Structure 1
Amino acid sequence: MVRVGSHRLLIAALAACAMAGGGIVAAQQGAAPAAAPVSASGSFEVGGVRVDVAGPNAEAARLAGWKLAERRAWTQLSRRLRGSEVALPEGAIDGLVSGIIIENEQIGPNRYIARLGVLFDRNRAAAILGVAARFARSAPLVLMPVEWSGGTGTVFERETEWTRAWARFRTSNSAIDYVRLTGTGPDPLLFDAGQIGRRGRGWWRTILDQYGADDVLIPQVHLYRQWPGGPVVGEFIAGFGPDNRILTRFTLRVDNADALPALLDEGVRRIDAAYQDALRRGRLRPDALLAVRPPSPEDEVDPAAIEVDDLPVVSTVTTGGAIINVQFDSPSAGAVTGTESALAAVPGVRSALTSSLALGGISVMRVTYDGSIAALRTALEARGWQVQEGPGTLRIRRGAAPAPAAPAAGAGDAPQNATNE
């Protein structure tokens, strides 16, 4: 829940469990889906402020707890940004607060115990503290959160607890410029667990250009459940770039499955800290090969400026055809060869060559086709393939095998043309 005055903007609301043993936080933001990233509005955030306040009734104790949290959070913020406390009257601090985040609370008849987060308006607070309201951030980096559970890697194929945790994370105070995806449209086709093993810079550059990013961040979590509802162990890995360079690795554990959101939130916080540390150390530089772009028309040589005598004598070959990327399952080398042969046999296909191989995962084939991507999709569906279409990309799967025909006669009946000996 968030306290909002007539002059304040509703920033976030976190529902908390008021049980004696504490509670787990769940993120809410209006009617938006759980995986939709929360607003990265420019606010200074101070979290983990603990209060224990008594009052004549529950509502008065709660209000007093929020006021105390505001004062303590302002003290922490001023010390963090200025190195010393900047004293302000309670009314002035209250005017700087843009939201209260309830991380955990316990409400009694006349007592309030809670762990709260406080959001301060960045521009107003920066002016009072004498610091810059903005700070240098990294290049834009696409976030690709991968959750491994039961041996299966999932990114955006379905909503996971890991994508929800990254959606809850507030990026306004991070030096990393995250490009967070909603997982709709072509996102599940372009970002899957098999993409981690692909090193081709051309393919990565094509994807990243669609999202206005310079490189990719690959935070992964491997979840190990001891038994249903029991302890959960999470192994976290912070990867970076097409080569998935590992920046840090750590393990966290909770005693029951109900605490999984808290486990993942802590994992997100630590991975973000690792990325910021790598940025300060100069280890989070975008891959130079991803910055290479094909020559623009302005860079091409004017044919009129070339002397005819300087041209070598060559034979002319007309190529043409649309280049279409086709993703397909490749459990074995035989499956790769078979799929290439099947696509090469489609009328209008000039060539079908695998450009990114991931045995046991999803490979990418580069297909030259005399026609549009929609025409190729129709041709593949006519041959029994299941096809999904994205921008410049097709995802194909083998159609379900036809059901065997029912026998014409019962199992115990003899064929009509049979004779008894």
Structure 2
Amino acid sequence: MLRRPWVLAAFVALLCFAIGGAVYAQMEAGERGILPLDSSGTLEVDGIHVDVGAKDAQSARLGGWRIAQREGFKMLWAKSHGLPASQAPSVSDSTLDDMVSSIIVRREQIGPNRYIADLGVLFDRARAGQLLGVEGITKRSQPMILIPIMVTAGTETSLELRNPWQRAWAEFRTSQSAIDYVRLSGLGVDPLLVNAAQAARPGRTWWRNILDMYGASDILIAEVMVHRAYPGGPAKARFIGRHGPDGEIVGGFDLTAANSAELAAMMNEGVRRMDQLYLAAYQSGALTRDPSLNLPPPPPPPPEEEEQQAQHAPTRYQIGLLAPNAVTYNSALAHLRAVPGVDKVEQVNIALGDTSYFFITYRGDLSTLRSILTSRGWGADVAGSQLKMYVPRPAPATPTPAPQQPAPAATPPGATNENKVTASATEAQPRGTAE
């Protein structure tokens, strides 16, 4: 092979092709996107261990689920009332069957006449809420976008590829948490806009755009660093909760997994403890929105406008807006709210492509308001007690006249071309010379 270089080159090319195909297949296997579970209509209790014996496997399994329903109801009742589970009322199995939505099987071992399992129970909120006293959480935080970041083998991954940390957050049921999480699926443009690199960017403008796009008000960054002793062996993870665009640390903790099979359970426990970490910070007032995420205030009005607005009592006017699209509508709404003397703007109806209407409480008259709006680039017309706003049409461009060529000099009557040539030659002769 060494004596024939072309054979060696072909072997190297074949090896690179095989490695590239394996990497491509691995990337195809790790597709993006894990849809978060919708838990708004359920109440969950987890961590119920059952060990039941019966005459056959089916009876043992059914008996274990019955015990899980009873224990789950008592645990939820104790959590909602702040009392021991022993004081919970007894509920019949038929009533529990109507309230339970599903049984979650974490781990189970089924024998001929024995059933051992770790179970969770989902109760229907509408049916069990009144009996449990947990109809809903009265106070929740402002919507916070959650960015899960997993660091393993020196690589940071968020929504770019599926990973156990993102899956644990997607399967976490947030209905019983006081933190209003905005969880992303990783589909579409999510990996481009919200990724591990974005969590370290300080730019406030881009953060504002992301928060507006996903309907959030603040930022939570859940980070986990996983260290494995060897592939498939024990793993140690460091969990760190961060808050805000600068990634301020809220707290952290450590968890371990005996092997790769227990990695998912470790991630689920990490999500549960991370939620408690954020909840404690929220209750202590630590999760406050960074003021730099707010839009900068508009420039102060001229002193003349402030004096004019102070002399008028607030009056309610109707504003009609001809908005062809949502961008024009939002821009007009923002400009009306920023006008000096406007105390309140009420949206009456939205008719994109037609005339939308507002009611504003304004300290001044409509002529003054019209002058302010026209100075800011809007078209405005006053008709009685109503003002109509629109985007002015650009003036048509005036065509530029073509430059005119100078007219040739007129030839005097009786003159010929020969006279012109003779005169020009005579003028060109030097002075003082005789013909």
Q: Same fold (TM over 0.5)?
A: yes
SS of 1:183's partner is coil
* Structure in which a larger fraction of residues adopt helix: 2
Counterpart AA for 2:244:
G
Which position in structure 2 is the counterpart of 1:142? 145
Counterpart AA for 1:59:
Q
1:43 aligns with 2:42: yes
Which position in structure 1 is the counterpart of 2:116? 113
Which position in structure 2 is the counterpart of 1:208? 211
Q: Distance in 2 between matches of 1:72 and 1:197?
A: 44
Which position in structure 2 is the counterpart of 1:81? 80
Q: Distance in 1 between matches of 2:137 and 2:210?
A: 29
Counterpart AA for 2:62:
L
Counterpart AA for 2:43:
F
Give the superposition deviation at 1:192: 2.1
Q: Distance in 1 between matches of 2:297 and 2:267?
A: 40
| Unaligned segments of structure 1, at least 5 residues | 1-31, 309-421
Q: How does 1:11-30 map to 2 (within 5 A)?
A: none
Contact conserved, 2:57 with 2:112, CA < 8 A, in 1?
A: yes
Contact conserved, 1:57 with 1:111, CA < 8 A, in 2?
A: yes
Counterpart AA for 1:91:
S
Which position in structure 2 is the counterpart of 1:393? none
Which position in structure 1 is the counterpart of 2:426? none
Q: Distance in 2 between matches of 1:191 and 1:63?
A: 45
Describe the superposition over 1:285-312 as per-residue Cα deviations: whole angstroms up to 9, x where unpaired: 2223323367522125768359x9xxxx
Q: Distance in 2 between matches of 1:63 and 1:305?
A: 74
Contact conserved, 2:239 with 2:270, CA < 8 A, in 1?
A: yes
Which position in structure 2 is the counterpart of 1:257? 260
Q: Distance in 2 between matches of 1:75 and 1:56?
A: 27
Give the superposition deviation at 1:197: 2.1
Which position in structure 2 is the counterpart of 1:361? none
1:122 aligns with 2:149: no
Counterpart AA for 1:244:
G
Identity over aligned pairs, percent: 45
Give the superposition deviation at 1:44: 1.6
| Unaligned segments of structure 2, at least 5 residues | 1-30, 299-333, 341-368, 376-435
Describe the superposition over 1:316-344 as per-residue Cα deviations: whole angstroms up to 9, x where unpaired: xxxxxxxxxxxxxxxxxxxxxxxxxxxxx
Q: How does 1:218-233 map to 2 (within 5 A)?
A: 218-233=221-236
Task: Select which of 166, 185, 201 maps to 1:182.
Answer: 185
Task: Select which of 281, 299, 304 maps to 2:371.
Answer: 304
Change (3 A) 1:104 1:152: same
1:234 aligns with 2:224: no
Describe the superposition over 1:326-363 as per-residue Cα deviations: whole angstroms up to 9, x where unpaired: xxxxxxxxxxxxxxxxxxxxxxxxxxxxxxxxxxxxxx
Which position in structure 2 is the counterpart of 1:99? 102
Equivalences, count: 277
SS of 1:145's partner is strand
Describe the superposition over 1:382-413 as per-residue Cα deviations: whole angstroms up to 9, x where unpaired: xxxxxxxxxxxxxxxxxxxxxxxxxxxxxxxx
* Runs of 4 or more consecutive aligned structure 1 residues displaced over 6 Å after TM superposition: none
1:133 aligns with 2:136: yes
Give the superposition deviation at 1:34: 7.2
Q: Distance in 1 between matches of 2:40 and 2:370?
A: 52
Instruction: Calculate the TM-score normalised by the size of structure 2.
Output: 0.60
Which position in structure 1 is the counterpart of 2:15? none
Task: Select which of 266, 273, 276 maps to 1:273.
Answer: 276
Q: Distance in 2 between matches of 1:161 and 1:237?
A: 16
Change (3 A) 1:228 1:129: closer
Change (3 A) 1:183 1:129: closer
Describe the superposition over 1:350-377 as per-residue Cα deviations: whole angstroms up to 9, x where unpaired: xxxxxxxxxxxxxxxxxxxxxxxxxxxx
Change (3 A) 1:150 1:305: closer
SS of 1:235's partner is strand
Q: How does 1:220-369 map to 2 (within 5 A)?
A: 220-292=223-295, 296-298=334-336, 299-300=338-339, 304=371
Which position in structure 2 is the counterpart of 1:194? 197
Q: Distance in 1 between matches of 2:137 and 2:372?
A: 50
Q: Distance in 1 between matches of 2:126 and 2:285?
A: 29
Counterpart AA for 1:43:
T
Change (3 A) 1:254 1:81: same
Describe the superposition over 1:255-311 as per-residue Cα deviations: whole angstroms up to 9, x where unpaired: 1112111111111111011111111111112223323367522125768359x9xxx
Structure number with greater Rg is 2
Describe the superposition over 1:195-251 as per-residue Cα deviations: whole angstroms up to 9, x where unpaired: 222222222111110000001110001111111111111111111110111111111
SS of 1:53's partner is strand
Q: Distance in 2 between matches of 1:51 and 1:34?
A: 34
Q: Distance in 2 between matches of 1:230 and 1:129?
A: 43
Contact conserved, 2:125 with 2:135, CA < 8 A, in 1?
A: no
SS of 2:88's partner is coil
Describe the superposition over 1:65-98 as per-residue Cα deviations: whole angstroms up to 9, x where unpaired: 0001111111111122122412222221222111
Instruction: Calculate the TM-score normalised by the size of structure 1.
Output: 0.62
